[in-house]
Structure 1
Amino acid sequence: MPTDQSVPTPAAIRPFQLTLIWKIFLTAGLCCLIAVFVPSVFLRFALVICAAILALLGAAVAVRQRLLGGRTKRLDMTAQQLLSHDVDNAFLTDDNCNITYANPVAIARFGECAGQSLCDILADMLANPEGVLQRLVRRVANGGASKEDIVTRAGHFRLSVSSIARDRMLWRLDDLGELGGGAGRSPEQIPLPLLNTSANGTIAHLNDAARALIGSRPKTVGEVIEDLPLRSGQAHTLRLANGRTRAIVVVVEAKHGGRDVFILPDAVIDAAPRQLEAEWDAIEDLPVPLLKIGANGDVLASNREARQLLHLDDTDGSRMADILDGLGRPMNDWLSEAAEGRGGHASQFLRGRGNNQDTFVQVTLNIAGGSDDRHLIAVLNDVTELKTLEAQFVQSQKMQAIGQLAGGVAHDFNNLLTAISGHCDLLLLRHDEGDQNYGDLIQIHQNANRAASLVGQLLAFSRKQNLQPEVIDLRDTLSDLTHLLNRLVGEKVTLRLHHDPALAQIKADKRQLEQVLMNLVVNARDAMSGAGEIKVTTENLTLKSQMVRDRAVVPPGDYVVVKVIDEGHGIPPDKLTKIFEPFWTTKRTSEGTGLGLSTAYGIVKQTGGYIFVDSDPGVGTQFSLLFPSYDLPVANAVPIKPESPKIAPVAVDGVVLLVEDEAPVRAFASRALRLRGYTVLEADCAEAALDLLEDRDLHVDIFVTDVIMPGLDGPTWVRQALLDRPETRVVFVSGYAEDAFSDAETPIPNSVFLPKPFSLNALTQTVHAQLQEEALSA
């Protein structure tokens, strides 16, 4: 169809075009008549030429109109043939919405429509048909087609229109077959008072029961209900023709922002007329879960939506305490208070019982019935998804809090271990192997190292450990680790490795990655009770689009996948969400600390990877590790000519400014440095160190400072000090990871990092290397 026929043309243009044809021919005739009386030959010739041109133009316009008319007739015939078999109401109209054709379905519903206006046909269905039709016609002018869902007395319908020619539009009225709230019946078939409202509170339709109750035709919800806003499941004050009354209102969200407002019949007190004395069965199809409850807790009745929500076949003989739980006090006490009017209208969030524990509902109670038949109406709202999201949020907050706690404990514990192992080193300097105390000191030193490894697991969980990433090939790493893994799994467990021949490289801390693999393999061994097969496979994975799994979103890209698969007893679904929590374990107290999987989780996440678990109870478990592939080429090493080493004097008499807030750590570090010949100035905080440096005559060769301290932290005060002493070397020490204080800041020049706990030799060698580097660069 040509583009110029996609937008309707106002009907006023057509009579204007017919009149124009006669004007053209009339003008041509006048030109010929004037030429007869004009004496000038030249002017006479010009008028004849103009008359001829006008005559040709008029003939062309007449031919075009005739062709368009014939085309419109053919289009009408084609459209009528197609629409005659349409199962929905269809109309052909001109630009003024005058009906030129109605299909048999429309005629059967509305009678003979030809020659009538579409506004007249829809007047009984729409409160403002002119406005709706004008709005749709304007949209057609912009896009060629439009549609709108409307609420009628017979239910929900969709009115659509499209332009099929310059002066023809096709209208369709489709029956959506359901009420906005999903009741599945027309409003007139529902014995409950029902108000169909728009998003702004305008009442689009009242059913017969609502008109009988209200006694008038209100235009807005505010004219019927006084105490707005509407609160579903709670009592509201109604304005009726014979006065005011209280009734429970149930609000169901409909499509396109509208709402269906139901008024419960047996919740209306002293309402007249008494057409509302319907049985409870009248709300069986109401699209909101409802329960009728006695003051003693017996469930007297329920509708279909409530039974579906609670996964019950029927509620005969049931009690509220048998269906729902989680109130925190006896259910009957709550119901009795509500029946006596002492409970207010506060909602309670409850969960199902038995096999229905994964369902959460919000329950709102209202008093209904007379003094001799006092009962409660419970309006239920499914909040399972909301409670699930809330539980996930609480879980993430708990994991974050535990991570912060673990990091803080590890930091403080590292300070203690530094003091313990440091002073142990000082004692070992004065005791040789023949001394009777030497063995005790070695035991202290070894146990301090074991404690340091445990602290390392805490830091791994909180993602604050020190990593030394390098480009590695997992095939080589696993090959080197195979001997140790075979010893771990024992003789009855078979360990099988399968690698992708073209496996990509990754960038990770090799030592920490080995720790992750050992933890997973040991867990797999324990899950199989010491017998079975463990598979470790590696493969490449390319994600074209992001992968959403659990609460993680894996961006597209190239990854290396490591899978650890066992044939054990599996993990129950209710425990899968807890396996990465620290100190949570299914093993006995003497068999595990509960830090294995949490450590693996922390290492993988700190490396930039992802860890997922799939488990089928009784079949086995599969852990999948995803690491971003590292495909940067490694440049060939350029041969360097050997040079003779420079011999520089070792500065053993340098001045060290030691800043440490922990007194035991400061005492050990100060003694260790003095034993190596350094002059040590001590400060217990950053402010005291800056006060010392205000003396311009004081010479300091190197700063040794803790990172995390009360007041100014290490990097902050060092930056201030380096403004006046830019050449001073720096050694940062901390129980946290190195990147815990440098992510958002530029690196400090001439500085190195020494993690806690450090030994006497590690401290003195680090300071010595810094001063020697300064001497070599001088």
Structure 2
Amino acid sequence: MYQEDNRMPLGTTIWLVICAILAVVATGIAAWQGKALGWPAFVLLCGIAVVAVLAILIIVLNRTPHHGGDDRSTEDEGELSDVFKNLPVASVIVKNGRPERASHSYLEFARSMGVDGDFDEIPPIDRVFNNTDKSASSAMFRLHHANPVHGEHKETIKILGEDGHYRMFDIGVRALGEGQLWQIEEQFEQDGAVASLLASAPVGLLSVTNSGEVIEMNDVLKGWLGVKNETAPSHLRDIVERPELLLDGPTTSGRIVRGDTRLLTRKGVVIPSVMTAVWKQMDSGETYASLALYGHSGLGAAGAGAKSENTRTKLSSLSEADRADVFAEAPFGVVWLDNPDIGKASILGTNHLVSSMLDGKDLEGRPFRSIFADTKETQALFEHGVDTHDSALDVPLASKRNRPVNIYFSQSDSFGLLAFIIDISARKDLETQLAQSQKMQAIGQLAGGVAHDFNNLLTAIRLNTDELLGRHPIGDPSYPELQRINQTVSRASGLVRKLLAFSRKQTMRAEALDVTDTLSDLGILLKQVLGERVSLDTDHGRGLPRIEADKNQLETVLMNLCVNARDAMLNTGGGTILLRSSLPDADKLIADKIPMDGN
């Protein structure tokens, strides 16, 4: 067992031995061979022996406690040593990198960290924290290289214990004379209140590192997965599908991730769930994510009973810091109620997510009902209470956007009624988008059916027009009108093809087009559409290359541009529309701010 070390330092011991040997050897030679060596040698040997003896006396006197007036000082030093040894905080004094004195609590702490032995010597700090992870090692490195003269330096580290649970320590270093005083204090949850508070949440909770390694998970999630402590999965990929939804993005502190996933149970059942996570950063700089999984289970048991008289007392027993910490850790809204009758309940406390959902309002002391919008769903919730529901409740909050949320209730004998509020506005947006896409799909199917019927009518018109063109050749007064009818039927057929393409029954067809010919054919129809007050001029470029485009789409775009221009000109009395084709150079494209390939 370690005792305070009052032994003589090694260097002093060596000098003491050397002086003793010199004194003995010089005295012996002077006594036996003094006459033979002569008086000068005899005097020299005697001098060496005297000097050696004096040195021995000086060394011994320096190691011997003084008496008399210094007795009180010695007693005070002994009392201070006893006080240091009995400090409740694990403390150790380090000089020149070696531990000189340690409290009993430090030795007990070293044993709890797995350091074996009877401690004939004080175990160094590095030996105590030898099996810690990267973040803890980085914190220890910073403490070792900190300058205690500038004040106390503190680090908070989190290490995995032998029982599979994480332990958190506050380590402080400060200057003490020529050495350093190290103090280590473990942070415990106050009477298990923090752990019990969220343990009753009817959602799966876990924490993972930025690589996906599981740090902790609650018993609810273990029950859903069908595992026990010793068989719990060690990586997020063994718990949910699509872990990359969380792990492949940035791990910036404060970033919130929401998405749909599926739980992978040990019975082979895959259960759809919703994952909500928030990234956080420890004092060491390492990041981790707190996750909540929900969506496939209903409310926790919430038997209504008489109002718990000590609920408010138990909440107040937690310090403000502890209460803020436990609520802040949850990646969803938490509301603590003082009454199992939610119609009469008041809010005892919330986390910051609830306040942000309600536009930063101060909620403590307000009626629970006041935070929800007055809708049929809200009225049904407060009329029937929590006992009649076995699934999540969709109700809107009384915020600017009437934010939709899911509410879960959990009744605890120790802490009263808890309401867990989960923002589902993103899910509602997805449902709206899905409904809109289904609506567009129905419109597309309708357009496809109408297009087929309309195409049959156009076929009949075209056949009759072709027959009339055969009877009225070029030069006949009716030929131009019949030709325009035929062209209009062709364009109507193009409109049918666009409707079929919209309904995904026909794909767009790109072809090599001559711009000059396309504009010439389109100009005939445009002149009829524009009317008499708006004229059309065409300026064709020379040496233009062919372009790859869908002819119907190109004509539709030009037609819409010209019609819009005509409508604008009619308000000013008319005008002229110019269709010009040319091959611009690079300078022209840059001047018109038209992007080119590679720029």
TM-score computed with the length of structure 2 as normaliser = 0.39
TM-score computed with the length of structure 1 as normaliser = 0.32
Q: Return the structure number with greater helix share.
A: 2
